[in-house]
């Protein structure tokens, strides 16, 4: 739980400091996946905390954020029954897929499409994926 709360705080600080949201890694999403990978049986509590605390600063679609956190937690714990979700490579893949789905999902919900935005979204997915080694090292 401490790992997840730390990731939430880092995410909030980075969002306040960096001028563009596209360069802010979704440390909350990555931290949630790493935390559930370590304790799959605590998925509902971790997902609920991540969703509720993210909703606090959410500007748009707070219900979708909460539901998305719960769905992500359920998927990671379900994968934990089949694979070793503590594996670094699998965590990187899960974070990349989850980040891609959420980032492009927001673009779809906002009906925003352009080559420039798609490039920025891909950069956001990359930056989020690169945060996994830092999160694992700090835990």
Give per-residue pLDDT as tens, 71-129: 999 999 999 999 999 999 999 999 999 999 999 988 888 888 888 889 999 999 999 99
Give me the mean pLDDT over the 28-51 stretch: 95
Q: Is the pLDDT of residue 138 over 80?
A: yes
| Averaged pLDDT score across all residues of the chain | 92
Alpha helices by DSSP H, listed for 18-87, are: 27-38, 43-57, 62-80
Cβ contact 15:60 at 8 Å: no
Token representation of residue 70: 């719960």
C-alpha–C-alpha distance, residues 75 and 54, integer Å: 19
């Amino acid at each position: 739980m401490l790992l997840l709360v730390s990731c939430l705080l880092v995410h909030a600080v980075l969002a306040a400091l960096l001028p563009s949201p596209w360069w802010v890694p979704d440390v909350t999403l990555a931290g949630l996946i790493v935390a559930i990978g370590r304790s799959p049986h605590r998925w509902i509590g971790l997902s609920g905390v991540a969703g509720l605390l993210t909703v606090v600063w959410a500007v748009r679609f707070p219900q979708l954020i909460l539901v998305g956190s719960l769905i992500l937690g359920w998927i990671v714990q379900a994968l934990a029954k089949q694979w070793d979700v503590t594996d670094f490579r699998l965590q990187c893949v899960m974070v990349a897929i989850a980040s891609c789905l959420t980032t492009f999902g927001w673009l779809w919900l906002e009906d925003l499409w352009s080559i420039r935005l798609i490039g920025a979204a891909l950069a956001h997915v990359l930056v989020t994926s690169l945060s996994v080694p830092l999160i694992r090292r700090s835990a």
